[in-house]
Amino acid sequence: MPFFIAPRDILLSFGKASSAPLHGKLRILLWNLNKCKTYGSTRHLSALCRSSDLALLQEAILSSPAESAMTSACHMGYTMAQGYLSPARRLPTGVITGYRSAPEKVFYTCSPHREPIIRTPKMALGTLHRLEDSNHRLLVINVHAVNFMRTAKYECHIRAIEEMAHSHRGPLLFAGDFNTWNEEREYVLAQCAKRLSLEEVTFAMEGRTRYLGKIVDRLFVRGLKPLRARADTHIKSSDHVPIWVEAEIS
């Protein structure tokens, strides 16, 4: 069984980010790492983080190789919201957000319900970043939504995550593995996006990971203008493909 973490210990930061505000075009990485189970995952992680301004990682596990892979991008700092410690090696597991510009504020929410069988929670992590020549802040919410549950419990989690952004009036990046593998879940997420005035990033060439025929990894934005979006389908070191979005503050 997994080992659970006291609330005071859930947030864990490492690496070194700049104190300067975000500026220019932002390269955003979204990737579910599948706990770095597959050969080559840490090598790919190292290369991808070095090319990122923001990196939103789900099913991240903080082993020594994974941490070294991330910190090899010497311009990046990271915050992890730990959901639990892995049963075998007691390694932190959860979501990680990497950033070129250190956040002013970091906060998280834990799923109201635990997933069945091993009873683990899912996490969402918020980071608030200064923007150059702007009084606004960019709020980044990195989501791993609950799986293997009825729609009502899924909606309960999405509503809890939505509350993280409810009072924010500036630019917003709302992205992650939403586990939208049926129409009911898609509808719940679409209604959340509508309430937050978000637009989903579209891909000219698809290739994102699907489960039961449905896309599960998604990015929504407000106050950001997507310029390019692609899936790195050649990378096979996770059961999800990495996703890139290049965007600018609109």
Pairwise CA distance, residues 28 & 140, whole Å: 11
| Residue 2 lies inside a defined structural domain of this protein | no
* Total number of domains constituting the chain: 1
Pairwise CA distance, residues 99 & 84, whole Å: 23
| Residue 211 lies inside a defined structural domain of this protein | yes
| pTM listed for this prediction | 0.96
User: By C-alpha distance, which of 248, 244, 247 is closest to 233?
Assistant: 244
| Residue 1 lies inside a defined structural domain of this protein | no
Q: What confidence tens digit (pLDDT) does each residue in 216-234 have? A: 999 999 999 999 999 999 9
Q: How far is CA 34 from CA 42, 115, 144, in A?
A: 11, 16, 12
Pairwise CA distance, residues 243 & 84, whole Å: 25
* Position 135 pLDDT exceeds 80: yes
Polymer length of the chain:
250
On whether the CB atoms of residues 221 and 201 are closer than 8 A, the answer is yes
What CATH number does residue 70 fall under?
3.60.10.10
Backbone angles phi, psi at 160, to 5 degrees: -65, -40
Pairwise CA distance, residues 234 & 195, whole Å: 35
Range of the domain at 160: 7-249
Pairwise CA distance, residues 215 & 242, whole Å: 13
Instruction: Tell me what the pLDDT averaged over the chain comes to.
Output: 94
Q: What confidence tens digit (pLDDT) does each residue in 83-128 have? A: 988 877 789 999 999 999 999 999 999 999 988 877 889 999 999 9
Mean pLDDT of 59-77: 94
According to DSSP, the residues that pair with 218 across neighbouring strands are 176
The secondary structure of 99-113 as a DSSP string is ESB--SEEEEEE-SS
